Amino acid sequence: MLEKDITASILRYLKTLPSCFCWKQSGGLYGTAGLPDVICCINGMFVAFEVKTNTGRLSKLQAVTMKRIREAGGRAFKVTSVDEVKAALASLEVLDEYSVVIPGQKGGGNPGG
């Protein structure tokens, strides 16, 4: 799968979460080099995702930018799939029980499970 396809899948998932505001960060002439691909505010927490294929690696600038985000109190992750995004969000505990489905648990947007 191409990085742009993974990014699109991640954005589709994030936009289903009621507590998430997110966008695709554009690179190029008018973008800021090194910023992660997907930027989010989830229940008041700044979360950024650098999207890579399974064989993709962070550039030095991307690694430094992610470190700076963490030092500023935000969260930053390198991810290769929607499942990795779900796992990252679950580890942060920023979503209420109805916002994310974790395998083997109830929830997912419908109170009462």
Task: Determine which helix (DSSP H) or strand (DSSP E) holds 7, and give its type and residue range.
Answer: helix 3-14
Whole-number pLDDT of residue 103: 45
pTM of the model: 0.81
Task: Mention every residue, 6+ apart, whose C-beta is less than 8 A from residue 92.
Answer: 42, 45, 47, 75
Whole-number pLDDT of residue 109: 39
Confidence of residue 10 (pLDDT cuts 50, 70, 90): very high
pLDDT digits (tens, 9 = 90+) for 22-80: 999 877 667 788 899 999 999 999 999 999 999 999 999 999 999 999 999 999 999 99
Would you say domain 3-92 falls under CATH 3.40.1350.10? yes
d(CA 98, CA 77): 23
